[in-house]
């Protein structure tokens, strides 16, 4: 029996037993945080919009002929200790650690990109040789921005200073001072990969260690595909291009956690919300199919 979409407070329109924590292989942690964004505000509405849009998805996946939800997908209560960037990072870190100990596969629903920092810290502790694979329009390599090292423009610099291998895909905006932190062979600029064949995908995978944390800033996609994001830029990845790349990553690496961030829902259109929800379910489907 399907539940009434109007009453939904968890991901996907599925029977409740599949959303219960004890049954679930996957846990989605909503982090409705938008404390440091600087252009279009509203990423704090992202988790709610993803969960609402997920009600419109079919549970069956036509590409992989499977129903991944039967592995169980628990939607955690939204993280609410968001009083400062430091408090938010710490509460994400603690929550991810908690679910790691229960052997759950964790995905974050952002929120702006700084929500990834606490998850990356927890993953790096568990997997010392961790790579962070970032899909993004922006390098996010600033040491600090607007006075904070936890600004969303600094996420990948934080990952680097933790000692993670950072591989960046789809980037088309770098500030001159950030450039010193770009590791050229780990950077796959949009102009080098979009409208090209898929050879770069293998090269990007070759730059990753075995254990990978996947962070998808939705602005890595082209704004014609995903318009509702806080700092859109032209010239991003296509939908099927991203899916082919993610399949290759999941097939060849061990993805240990993920996030989907920077959805900034628009009152005029649910297209981007549905894309984000579809992407979250597709990542879970890939993890199930290639586990
Ligand atoms: Mn970003």
Ranges of each domain in the chain: 5-289
Ion ligand 1: residues, CB < 5 A: 113, 136, 140, 217
Whether pLDDT at 161 is above 50: yes
Residue 142: the pLDDT is 96
Distance 220 CA to ligand 1 centre (A): 8
Strand order, beta sheet including 254-261: 73-75, 26-31, 105-110, 254-261, 211-217, 131-135, 165-169, 187-188
| Residue 80's pLDDT band (cuts 50, 70, 90) | confident
- This prediction has a pTM of 0.96
**Fold for the domain defined by 5-289:** 3.40.800
Distance 102 CA to ligand 1 centre (A): 29
Distance 15 CA to ligand 1 centre (A): 34
Taking only the tens place, the pLDDT of each residue in 52-72 is: 999 999 999 999 999 999 999
Residue 2: the pLDDT is 42
């Amino acid at each position: 029996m399907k539940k009434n979409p109007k009453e939904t407070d968890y991901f996907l329109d599925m029977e409740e037993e599949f959303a219960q924590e004890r049954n679930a292989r996957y846990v989605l942690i909503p982090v409705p945080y938008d404390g440091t964004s600087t252009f279009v505000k509203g990423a704090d509405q992202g988790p709610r919009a993803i969960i609402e849009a997920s009600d419109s998805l079919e549970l069956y996946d036509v590409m992989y002929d499977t129903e991944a939800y039967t592995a169980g997908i628990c939607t955690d209560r939204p993280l609410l200790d968001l009083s400062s960037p430091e408090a938010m990072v710490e509460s994400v870190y603690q929550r991810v650690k908690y679910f790691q100990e229960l052997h759950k596969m964790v995905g974050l629903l952002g929120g702006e990109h700084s929500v990834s920092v606490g998850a990356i810290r927890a993953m790096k502790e568990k997997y010392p040789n961790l790579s962070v694979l970032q899909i993004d329009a922006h390098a996010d390599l600033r040491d600090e921005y607007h006075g904070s090292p936890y600004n969303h423009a600094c996420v990948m610099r934080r990952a680097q200073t933790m000692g993670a291998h950072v591989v960046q895909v789809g980037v088309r905006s770098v500030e001159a001072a950030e450039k010193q932190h770009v590791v050229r062979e780990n950077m796959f600029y949009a102009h080098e990969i979009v409208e090209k064949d898929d050879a770069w995908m293998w090269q990007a995978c070759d730059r990753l260690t075995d254990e990978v944390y996947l962070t998808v800033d939705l602005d890595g996609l082209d704004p014609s595909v995903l318009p509702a994001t806080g700092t859109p830029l032209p010239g991003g990845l296509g939908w099927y291009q991203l899916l082919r790349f993610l399949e290759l990553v999941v097939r060849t690496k061990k993805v240990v956690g993920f996030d989907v961030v920077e959805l900034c829902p628009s009152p005029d259109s649910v297209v981007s919300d549905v894309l984000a929800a579809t992407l979250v379910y597709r990542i879970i489907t890939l993890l199930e199919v290639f586990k």
